[in-house]
Amino acid sequence: MGLRDPLPAEEVKWRLASSGWSGDTNEISKNYSIDYDSAMRAVTEIAQVAIELEHRPDIDIRWDHLRIAMTTHTAGDVVTELDFLLAARINEITEKHGAVTT
């Protein structure tokens, strides 16, 4: 299976449970509590990884909140291995910057 092949619903469900993300076969997302300055630093690192993986998450930064959502647009707006690869990297980055999942 390739990085941009749609994942079956059961696979998505299992991976969501073990990753701390939520969603379905169309999109995965995660919300964090994090101060604005730390969010900006984290997003800078997330952007570098997104460029490296050639995958672009939707990012919403607020005063004390960060939301990240992903789908693989090039696969028809479905969740793929690529989404979970980026999610794992985002988990590492946000943890390093003190983000707490909400």
Give pLDDT, residue 58.
98
Tokens of residue 65, six digits:
């909140």
Residues of the chain where predicted confidence (pLDDT) is lower than 70: none
Give pLDDT, residue 67.
98
Give pLDDT, residue 34.
98
Instruction: Scan for tokens 């291995």, then name that residue.
Output: 81
Burial degree of 59 (CB within 10 A; 0-12, 13-18, 19+): middle
Of 92, 79, 65, nearest in space to 15 by CA:
79
Q: How many residues does the chain have?
A: 102
What DSSP state is assigned to residue 6?
B
